[in-house]
């Protein structure tokens, strides 16, 4: 209703409860109730790390769980040191990239994304929040990169193929951003060796995982010589692998 009235939710509750129902509301409600379309797609906005990000069909909706990666990165770099170069692999809407820029506005930032649809959303969000401060590359993971970064962020697909997901996710969000083989670790297997030449000395790579994948994912990266620590999200679930050398 707040979206239909073009006001904030707070303003709706404080000032607009007696307003007439706008004509657009019925269609919005139908999309949510009958089509099970995610609210973020209906309103076109999702909040992440205090940023309002544009989202819609073709891009994964940012989840609060992913903010764990930023918290781990902030804990790694002390007040005296900051990452001067940041890489976001599989940037999607550019949520992690822009959140990192909000913390370290002077860093050189690159986002990599394979999907043309997702890249369009990333460009729109960068143009809104940090025009001219980030470079986007269309590529498959690290294939197009030849540089080192102090901080690497990555939220790869990690849902097991065939998992029964809520209609909001299964019917609307891009499958290529969700599913990663029978055990959900197909992308992590690709990333484990690719990250080795990309991380600068003293840097950290923060990789998102599913809540039950810590042991298996850790083994993949340890086999490539990484030191791995698991970090939990606010709900107490394993969510991030912190990789160092």
Count of C-beta atoms within a 10 Å radius of residue 133: 15
Count of C-beta atoms within a 10 Å radius of residue 50: 8
Q: Does domain 51-244 have CATH number 3.40.50.150?
A: yes
| Confidence band, pLDDT 50/70/90 cuts, at residue 81 | confident
| Confidence band, pLDDT 50/70/90 cuts, at residue 185 | very high
Confidence check: pLDDT of 80 > 80: no
Distance CA 50, CA 163 (A): 31
Of the candidates 18, 2, 17, 33, which has an alpha carbon nearest to the alpha carbon of residue 167? 33
Element (H, E) at 229: strand 227-232
Contact 211, 239 (CB under 8 A): yes
Confidence check: pLDDT of 45 > 80: yes
Distance CA 204, CA 62 (A): 22
Span 105-133, average pLDDT: 96
| Confidence band, pLDDT 50/70/90 cuts, at residue 78 | confident
Domain range summary for the chain, segments of one domain joined by + = 51-244
**Beta bridge mates, 229:** 242
Q: How far apart are the first and last CA of the chain?
A: 50
Of the candidates 73, 128, 135, which has an alpha carbon nearest to the alpha carbon of residue 100? 73
Contact 66, 95 (CB under 8 A): yes
For the whole model, what pTM was predicted?
Answer: 0.92
The whole-chain average pLDDT of the chain stands at 95
């Amino acid at each position: 209703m707040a979206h239909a009235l073009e006001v904030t939710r707070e303003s709706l509750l404080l000032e607009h409860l007696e307003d007439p129902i706008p004509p657009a509301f019925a269609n919005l409600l139908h999309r949510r109730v009958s089509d099970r379309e995610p609210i973020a797609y209906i309103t076109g906005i999702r909040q992440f790390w205090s940023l309002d990000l544009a989202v819609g069909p073709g891009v994964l909706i940012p989840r609060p769980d992913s903010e764990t990666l930023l918290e781990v990165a902030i804990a790694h770099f002390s007040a005296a040191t900051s990452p001067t170069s940041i890489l976001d692999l599989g940037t999607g809407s550019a949520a992690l990239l822009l959140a990192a820029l909000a913390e370290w506005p002077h860093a050189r930032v690159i986002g990599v994304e394979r999907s043309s649809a997702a890249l369009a959303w990333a460009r729109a969000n960068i143009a809104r929040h940090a025009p001219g401060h980030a470079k986007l590359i269309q590529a498959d993971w690290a294939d197009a990169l030849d540089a080192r970064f102090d901080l690497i962020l990555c939220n790869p697909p990690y849902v097991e193929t065939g998992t029964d997901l809520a209609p909001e996710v299964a019917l609307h969000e891009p499958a290529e951003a969700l599913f990663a083989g029978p055990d959900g670790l197909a992308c992590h297997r690709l990333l484990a060796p690719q990250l080795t030449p990309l991380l600068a000395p003293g840097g950290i790579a923060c990789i998102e995982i599913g809540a039950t994948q810590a042991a298996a994912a850790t083994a993949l990266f340890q086999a490539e010589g990484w030191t791995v620590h698991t970090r939990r999200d606010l709900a107490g679930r394993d969510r991030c692998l912190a990789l160092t050398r």
